[in-house]
Structure 1
Amino acid sequence: MGQWVNQPVVAQIAPVPRPVLAADVGGTHARVALVIGQPDPRRPVRILAEGRYAGAEWASLDAILQDFLAAQAHLAPQGVERCAIAIAGYVLDDNVANSNLPWPVSLSRLRASTGTPTLEVINDFEAVAYASQFIDRDQCTTLLPGAREGAPGPVVVMGPGTGLGSAVLLPGTPRAQVLTTEAGQIALAPGDEREIAILRVLARTRPYVSVEAIVSGPGLLATYRAISELDGREATLATPDAVSAAGIAGSDPAAREALDVFCAVLGGFTADLAMLYGAHGGVFLAGGVLPHLRDFLLTSRFRERFFNKGVMRPFLERVPVWLVEHGQLGVVGAATRHG
């Protein structure tokens, strides 16, 4: 007669998932985070830790990532699963091409510094477009209500920072796709005589004047200087932040007008992109400049110029436009691109 034998029970321990190192790198700041996936379709990743770095204060992007990983080593004791970087620019062989970055970026050096061979690099506004699927509209500032939730259809994401970025989210099954664009480099189209005069001043110092020449941080400063020159005044303000602050306060007439022109051109260009891509799903305005201009933007000529598109006004009246804090969108979009 046989005997019962107590068999040892082997516990099936699921491997602890390693986090993803995600970064959103612009011309001024780099946002870095450790994220981990979760089964919530509205919030597919959870941020474990994050940091914000002023790019000019660091020797390289490698140094920033190494500093962040060292500070958060307790959250990734076995290293990271992969590294996903959203960056202003485009990949050219082993490098990222963008004159707005404070240092050169090498993909091979990034792989070495993060300790992972799996490195994904995408355009920064491509990442924001992916993340737009997970934005809570109630947490945004509504600039134009349109069809409140937006209709099924393409969503345009754009915004001024050191440059003017844009991308388009195209609905699809099993997942949406993103079309990256260089729409900020489209030629500037003045909307009135004053803007024609500003264009003439800007054209003296460059062979080609794009929308970005006005709708960006450096563009705001350039517009202020052009207006000062046209009015025969000395341009005493030296940074985009100083121009926006003086314009909002009303302490400098040229700065105030520069902000007004900035918002007007932004409104017209936003409508151009909405028409170009059939943005029934709406437009999200992000970027580093706009959150500081929120109240000014709400009462500016943005709305007037957005709707000043002739027979296309009825279409544009149905396109909602939201202002969203850039915040974590870049890192979320980079981390979920292949989710």
Structure 2
Amino acid sequence: MRTPDRAAPTLLADLGGTNVRFALADTGRALPLMDDSVRRYRVKDYGSLAEAIRQYFSDTGHEAPRAVIAAAGRVSEGETVKVTNNPWLVAAHTLQAELGMESVHLVNDFAAQAMAVPLLAHEQLSAVGPQPLPTLGQRETQSFVVMGPGTGLGVAGLLRRQGHWTVLETEGGHAGFAAHTAEDVEILHRLNERFGRVSNERMICGNGLVNLYLALADIAGQPAEEYTPEDITARAETGSDPLCVRTVETLAGIFGSVAGDLVLSL
């Protein structure tokens, strides 16, 4: 039986619907992440996660005996995950056998994001709004919402009780959208016609930008271009297309409203 090599790095993977990002961590260091090891690959270019990992090892010249996979989907008993908006089905033991690794561990991506929050230094945080930044881990009772848009909308909770951290895994991104303004109502009406039930994720994600753009174009009576999320973002950044600017502003406003609702819920 091979003796585990604890000095060897651990492979980290952030697996979403569009991209998979890899990095290596040396757990013997004060700052484990090996910064020059980070690479991004498009999911559609590979038939499986194992294939993408082999490409990463080939590109970097590194190997790793262990892996921790943070995946955008519900992890079933720590063994399998079907990633939302991604054709891959990932099973920990199968991946471990395919790659000849000592261990492979699966975790929900936003559970992993929540686990990272207590590790953040104060100078790594930015305040949004008038309230001062909290000091992490210095109070017995603290509650946090952890959320972020990508291919979908990830949501997790993080609780500190009696000095211990607990992560709450959720599917909060699929909660129903609550309209707060007259424009929200018009957007909801158009998305409801297209999709039926409208979740927060229909707007707060990459494809959500396109959904909002099409809805706002219809509300304004303007012809809509066949833009991708990247097109909309690029035109908003340059200010070359006022409708794209409005789309990004609208997404940010809805994101803020949803964040506030989640804070009230938790």
Amino acid at match of 2:21: R
Post-superposition Cα deviations, 1:141-199, rounded to whole Å, max 9, x if no partner, equal: 33225133347302221111110101122225675221111111111011111110111
Deviations 1:77-123 (A, max 9, x none): xx51x211001011347642234124333434311233125221111
The equivalent of 2:57 in structure 1 is 69
Alpha-carbon distance in 2 for matches of 1:172, 1:115:
40
Whole-Å separation in 2 of the counterparts to 1:267 and 1:72: 39
Q: Does 1:250 align with 2:239?
A: yes
Instruction: From the superposition, tell whether residues 115 and 70 of structure 1 become closer, same or farther in structure 2 (CA, over 3 Å).
Output: farther
User: SS at 2:240's partner residue?
Assistant: coil
Change (3 A) 1:116 1:254: same
Q: Which residue of 1 aligns with 2:43?
A: 55
Instruction: Determine which of 102, 109, 122 is the counterpart of 1:137.
Output: 122
The answer (yes or no) to whether the contact 2:126–2:133 under 8 Å persists in 1 is: no
SS of residue in 2 equivalent to 1:233? coil
Q: Which of residues 142, 155, 170 in structure 2 aligns to 1:181?
A: 170
Answer whether contact 1:237 1:243 (CA < 8 A) is retained.
Answer: no
Task: Give the alignment partner of residue 84 of structure 1, picking from 68, 78, 93.
Answer: 68
- Tell me, what secondary structure is at the counterpart of 1:238? coil
- Compared CA separation, residues 197 and 20, structure 1 to 2 (3 A): same
Report how far residue 127 of structure 1 moved: 0.7
For residues 235 and 71 of structure 2, the distance between their equivalents in structure 1, rounded to whole angstroms, comes to 30
**Structure 1 residues without counterparts, runs of 5 or longer:** 1-14, 278-339
Q: TM-score under structure 2 normalisation?
A: 0.86
Aligned AA for 1:209?
V
Partner of residue 222, structure 2: 233
Relative to structure 1, is the Cα distance of residues 102 and 252 closer, same or farther in structure 2, using a 3 angstrom cutoff? Answer: farther
More contact order relative to length (CA 8 Å, sep ≥ 6): 1
Report the more deviating stretch, 51-60 or 264-273: 51-60
How much is the aligned-residue C-alpha RMSD, in angstroms? 2.4
Question: How high is the sequence identity, in percent, across the aligned residues?
Answer: 30
CA distance in 2, matches of 1:157, 1:215: 14
2:116 pairs with 1:126: no
> What is the aligned counterpart of 1:222 among 211, 230, 236?
211
Measure the CA separation in 2 of the matches of 1:117 and 1:208.
44
With over 3 angstroms needed to count, the CA separation of the structure-2 counterparts of 1:243 and 1:228, relative to structure 1, is same
- 2:145 is matched with 156
d(CA) in 2 for partners of 1:127, 1:204: 35
Q: Does 1:201 align with 2:190?
A: yes
TM-score, structure 1 normalization:
0.69
Distance in 2 between residues matched to 1:266 and 1:240, nearest whole Å: 16
CA contact (8 A) 1:62 1:109 kept: no
SS at match of 1:258: helix
SS of the counterpart of 1:205? helix
User: Structure 2: any 5+ residue segments left out of the alignment?
Assistant: none
The amino acid that maps onto 1:47 is M
Whole-angstrom CA distance in 2 between matches of 1:167 and 1:16? 31
- Match of 1:241, SS state, is helix
Q: Deviations over 1:231-274 (max 9, x none)?
A: 22211142111112223333333222222221111111111112
